[in-house]
A and B are shown apart, each in its own frame.
Chain A
Amino acid sequence: MKLRRRLLKEKEVEAINVSPLIDVVFILLIFFIVSATFVKVPGEEVLRPHAVTAESLEKNAILFALAADDSLYYAGETISIDEVRPLVEELRREVNAPVVIQVDELADATKLAKLAREGKLAGAPVSIATRKPE
């Protein structure tokens, strides 16, 4: 008896209105399209130094990572410092992106100076990524 009533009820169920769902999905889609900045991440997690005067950096940037063992990463691969200048020049021909160096606290400072110099010589503004002071 109960079962029959339930079956009857289910038959009465109308089609679900999907238009609000589509609306929400469209909004999400537009949000992700707008916020997408296809940057190549270096793929190496580094411990950034603390800094108090840090400002928000450009999101669409050419990212390099200088790890604690002084190896240099770009887009998930290790590269040598001599490759930096042609690479930055090549990339900046398309978009006017600045260079951001993610440097490890324990990396050699001379390596950082050389990398910053290479970026400058390629004509790009160079920034050093930091952390908020604790």
Chain B
Amino acid sequence: MKRRLASFKADPVEINVSPLIDMVFILLIFFIVATSFVNEIGLTPKHRDTADPTHRLDPPVAFDLTGEGRILNKGAEVALAGVAPVVRAASARKPKPVILRVNPGAKAGLATRVMDQAMLGGAKTVKLSAVAASSPK
């Protein structure tokens, strides 16, 4: 017994690592293929849906986006670059929520840019609301 142990120690068995390498390669290829590098940047216009009507804090700064792509604030047309100053002026003392009412036909790209400008003007919450198709433009 003693002799056998001694001879075992003296003659180490080399482990064959090739199956291990094969396995690791297969796993590696699986993970390379399965990985999808989604790296998005974007806007997160937070807004709370206040179901409680008494919880109304401030009247929001409202913008309307017409189907033709015009931006209206209190009925007056503003340019895209004019959105940020309007929001900044309105929320000078306290940040105010912004609501963007979009009419059918307005482009999502423009709506996103208006939201971007509103957030640039300091708005934290921007709500996007769709105007029903039946309402007059």
Contacts and interface: CB of A to CB of B under 8 A. Distances in A.
Interface of A: 18, 21-22, 25-26, 28-29, 32-33, 35-39, 41, 47-57, 59, 61, 63, 66, 98, 100, 102-114, 116-117, 120-121, 125-132
- Interface band, chain B: 35 or more
Interface string B31-42: 110111111111
B28 A25 contact: yes
A63 B38 contact: yes
Given A29-B27, A105-B108, A127-B40, 8 more contacts: A18-B21, A22-B24, A25-B21, A39-B38, A51-B113, A54-B42, A105-B109, A129-B40
26 contacts: A25-B21, A25-B28, A28-B28, A32-B35, A37-B38, A38-B34, A38-B36, A49-B113, A50-B116, A52-B116, A53-B119, A54-B41, A55-B44, A59-B40, A100-B40, A100-B42, A105-B109, A109-B107, A112-B128, A113-B102, A113-B129, A117-B129, A128-B42, A129-B40, A131-B41, A132-B41
Contacts of B116: 49-54, 130
B108 A109 contact: yes
**Consensus secondary structure, chain A interface:** mixed
Given A29-B24, A32-B28, A32-B32, A113 B41 contact: no
Contact of B113 (A35, A36, A50): A50
B92 interface: no
A110 B34 contact: no
A51 B42 contact: yes
B24 A112 contact: no
A51 B104 CA distance: 22
Contact of A116 (B32, B41, B65, B128): B128
B44 A125 contact: yes
B5 interface: no
Contacts of A49: 108-110, 112-113, 116
A51 B21 contact: no
A106 B120 CA distance: 22
